[in-house]
Amino acid sequence: MRPRPDSPAVLSWVLQAVAAERAFAVLGNHELNLLMHDPKDGSGWYFDNRPQDDERYAPWQHFPIAQRSQLHEQLAQWPLVWQRDDLRVVHAAWLPESLRQIADAGNTPIIQQYHFWEDGFQHAFDNSGWKATYQDEQHRLHRELEDEQSTMAFQLGVAHYDLLRSTANPIRALTSGVEALAPAPFYANGRWRFTVRMPWWQQYQDQVPVVVGHYWRHWYDNPVPTHRQGLFHEPPTHWLGPQQNVFCIDFSVGARWRERQQGTPLNQTRFHLAALRWPEATIVLDTGLTANSIRSR
């Protein structure tokens, strides 16, 4: 849930639609951040300790403190995946090994599962040989790591921390995807980063189509940042992977706050909220534009 003028109203609409059985929802990385009390860039509409977000993203509406407990109860009931015989939906990545690990946990509540896997990740990282380097980088560069204007060298400790964390926790893997070391540092979402997202769909061999979000795909005539150029080589209307049966419907609507600050009207937006109408496989943008999704073969 990236910053919008009224994120609480968006959440309320979704929760009401789910409760009325007019919609299904799956957990993504931003919902997990709320559940795990893990503030990130752009979450100042919900968390109280992010004054820097108000400076960057305001004006916006803040989520009422009195309603947070109820929200947590509701989000904790959302599944990580939704599937039927002809379709699979997951926020970031359909990864069989991660799904198996979560299935093996049975009915263990998701928050308990998450903490279990995070503890395992922390233990593995502590024994990886990178802990001292990571701690030194965090101590020396605490402010610089969040400063877009700083001159940033490649930080191997932070890089290997993020790299292992992307795979060691299967819940994170499904909701944030797997990563690889970046060729160079880049600044995104409030901090310097040293790992890049990987196109897991290149290894997806199942026949059931998968629909994901998360990856900030770009619509036509929209320049792609360097750190995302390895994700999509196909046009924005095309299916992905060797079986041509994975589709990403995230067209970077989370960046629309920049246009709001610049006064860009909606009919000139470069960033879109999108849906994939099923089984027609028609792309529907929030501007009213529709387009057929395309399989290259």
Same domain, 159 and 232: no
Same domain, 215 and 291: yes
Domain for residue 12, yes or no?
yes
Which pTM value belongs to this model? 0.93
Domain for residue 127, yes or no?
yes
Domain for residue 87, yes or no?
no
Same domain, 73 and 105: no
Give SS3 for 6: coil
**pLDDT (0 to 100) of residue 190:** 87
Same domain, 205 and 287: yes
Domain for residue 145, yes or no?
yes
Same domain, 194 and 110: yes
Query: Last residue of some domain: 174, 198, 222?
Result: 198
154-175 pLDDT per residue, tens: 999 999 999 999 999 999 999 9
180-228 pLDDT per residue, tens: 999 999 999 889 999 999 999 999 999 999 999 999 999 987 788 888 8
Q: Which domain holds residue 139?
A: 97-198
Report in angstroms the alpha-carbon separations of 76 from 36, 114, 165, 211: 10, 11, 22, 22
Domain for residue 91, yes or no?
no
49-87 pLDDT per residue, tens: 888 888 888 888 999 999 999 999 999 999 999 999 999
Instruction: Give residues with Cβ within 8 angstroms of 207, minimum separation 6.
Output: 243, 245
